[in-house]
Amino acid sequence: MSATNITDQAKILSPKRNTTQATTIDELTDEQLAHFGIDKNSEYGQALFNTAQHLYYTQANMQQLWKITSDTLEGLSKENKVAYFNAKKFLSFQIAKILDTLQNPFRATYQSLSKQSGSQVSKSHYPLFDNVTALFSATPVVVRTATYVYACTEWVDDAFQGKESTHQIYSRLLNPTNISLANAIVDLEAGPYAADYLAWNFNSGMAAIDALLSNVLSHGDVLIVSRNVYGGVYQLLHDFFARENRLNVQLEWFDGYSAEEFSSFMQQTKTKHSKRLDGGNALHVYMESPCNPHGYVLDVAGISKIAHASGHVVMLDATLATPILHQPLQRDDKEERPDYVMHSYTKDICGSGATTAGVVIGEAYRMFQGKGDCVNGYDWSKTMFWDVYYIKGAFLDSEKAFDVLTGMKTLEMRIMQKVINTFVFSQFLASHKSFNVNCHAIEGHPNAALREGQMRHGWPCALFTVDMQGTDISRDTFVRFFDALEPAFSHQVSIGQHNTIVLCPALTSHSELDPEAQAKSGIYLTTMRIAMGTDNVKELIAHFINSARLHIDPAMPGFSDKFMPADEIDELYMKTSLRVSQQHYASGASVKDMLG
């Protein structure tokens, strides 16, 4: 590397990084001492000069190290990748140790600036270097602060311009714990394409969806929406974005699931709203797959490809799938990937039921650029960070981010157990002719083929519905039966927790929809939305049968005898558990592959 290149790489460390006239490392170092009023010829100045000089050279060397890594990583053997990783890990410890060595003299200098007496007795200490040891934490550190100390004027100016990613200003913009979670979900969702994506975390799933819609939609646009979306999303779209005195967005509800159905519907929508679209408004697509409350999946890849062929933005709420069941951003054909993926962390990804949080994932250039930049013809002002995240303040705090990160550690095993329970419980219910089971886990279900083609291992969504509309059961009998499902089935509104949850959508999650809209969504007064947990499914089945014996049999004699026999339930459970477990464990890389 030439001397000029070394200096250019080192300038990023200068307190005058944007205005320096230095052309050598020595000049950069002289300039730094002068900036802080340090006499270079003093004993302190000489020691500081040598230290700063080494740091400037180190910065240039680090850039060279990163370039070599980027150029060679793909072709390295597994052994060399191990060596690269551990060498850099130890380098991190060395740099942290240098920082830690500064701690005592730094504190002593700070303490000497004022005497701790009188009104100054409770003056806070300066915690900057106390935080160095947090670099060695084995789990993400919960950073509880509203703001941060900044280095110097030019550095904080760059931070406000979005050009200093490691220099936080407010926790509502960037927080280390929040960033850890954003990195983790991108790795999990995008896999081999993770380097191309970024995520922004929000304090709820609805906040994430609102932010995305606010970023994408403009006044008068046309939005195709899959019919069975979460009730809160329906309310947000219908009562806010579609109102004439708000954004006057034209909503078109797509009732199908396949790419063929979507292609036809999209053309009909374009014809219907040709005046709007010809006048400069855009058409966008919003999907929820699997959808709430039935758990049906859409052909996300096929729909995305069709929409992208006409230049339309595609948004996907993948909350119910989680990255374990569906990885839409890992499609080899980029045209088959949605432009944005949202999750409500509140559900399965966290899993505890103790935290509300949400996330939007998108290509990096759509999510963030420094002020003044323009990537792929996309201006920095349109990015989600500057257009929405920076000004709305619906950020995720560090404690919630930590809760989600902790929950993610057990996500895969929890989803596997829920898949087993979903297969078993849905087939148990389907064995009784009085139950209409809307679950794609059942072979022959209209959505089963899409489930097989879209979902990892063909595994089902753990959310589905069942109703008793074909029976003569009275409302009073049904309500007493439903109320008796506690405590085995929790009567709660949210989903995605460890316990199995049951509710009546018509009275709760989809009560915002009028009766006509409910009927179009397949929701009736006897519809039960079941969100499978990780419980013992055989205990759930036994409680379900006993509740039917208690409350339905007296009104409809012999009703409970029509369920699948007990020995068949045991056999179904064992076969399903072995099949799903085999699919899971056989899908991992072999030791031979791991050895390279």
pLDDT tens digit string along 63-78? 999 999 999 998 999 8
Instruction: Tell me, yes or no, whether 190 lies in a domain.
Output: no
Q: Are residues 391 and 516 in the same domain?
A: no
Q: Are residues 296 and 335 in the same domain?
A: yes
Q: Are residues 505 and 562 in the same domain?
A: yes
Instruction: Tell me, yes or no, whether 105 lies in a domain.
Output: yes
**pLDDT band, residue 118 (cuts 50/70/90):** low
**How many domains is the chain partitioned into structurally?**
3
Domain assignment of residue 109, given as a range: 3-113+129-143
Contact 15, 34 (CB under 8 A): no
Instruction: Tell me, yes or no, whether 331 lies in a domain.
Output: yes
Q: Are residues 368 and 414 in the same domain?
A: no
Question: Any bridge partners for residue 463, and if so which?
Answer: 531
Q: Are residues 369 and 432 in the same domain?
A: no
127-181 tens-digit pLDDT: 777 777 788 888 888 988 888 888 888 888 888 888 876 666 767 778 889 999 9
Contact 147, 170 (CB under 8 A): yes
Q: Are residues 371 and 242 in the same domain?
A: yes
Q: Residues with Cβ < 8 Å from 77, sequence gap 6 or more?
A: 596
Exposure string of 232-242, with b = 16+ CB inside 10 Å and e = fewer, is bbbbbbbeebe
Instruction: Tell me, yes or no, whether 50 lies in a domain.
Output: yes
Q: Are residues 419 and 522 in the same domain?
A: yes
Instruction: Tell me, yes or no, whether 428 lies in a domain.
Output: yes
Cβ burial of 593 (10 Å; 0-12, 13-18, 19+) is exposed
Q: Are residues 217 and 313 in the same domain?
A: yes
Selection from 321, 266, 262, 329 nearest residue 296 by Cα: 321
**pLDDT band, residue 544 (cuts 50/70/90):** very high
Res 166: pLDDT: 63
Instruction: State mean pLDDT over 559-577.
Output: 98
Q: Are residues 311 and 443 in the same domain?
A: no
Instruction: Tell me, yes or no, whether 155 lies in a domain.
Output: no
28-63 tens-digit pLDDT: 999 999 999 999 999 999 999 999 999 999 999 999
Instruction: Tell me, yes or no, whether 283 lies in a domain.
Output: yes
Instruction: Tell me, yes or no, whether 104 lies in a domain.
Output: yes
Q: Are residues 213 and 320 in the same domain?
A: yes
- Backbone φ and ψ for 289, nearest 5 degrees, come out as -150, 120
> DSSP letters of 202-230?
ESSHHHHHHHHHHHH--TT-EEEEESS--
Whole-model pTM: value is: 0.91
Share of the chain above pLDDT 70, in %: 97
Q: Are residues 269 and 390 in the same domain?
A: yes
Average pLDDT over the chain reads 92
**Per-residue tokens: 258:** 């396949």
Which amino acid, residue 422? Answer: T
Res 155: pLDDT: 83
Last residue in a domain, options 121, 143, 165? 143
CATH code for the domain in which residue 515 is found: 3.90.1150.10
Instruction: State mean pLDDT over 311-329.
Output: 97
Q: Are residues 496 and 591 in the same domain?
A: yes
CATH code for the domain in which residue 334 is found: 3.40.640.10
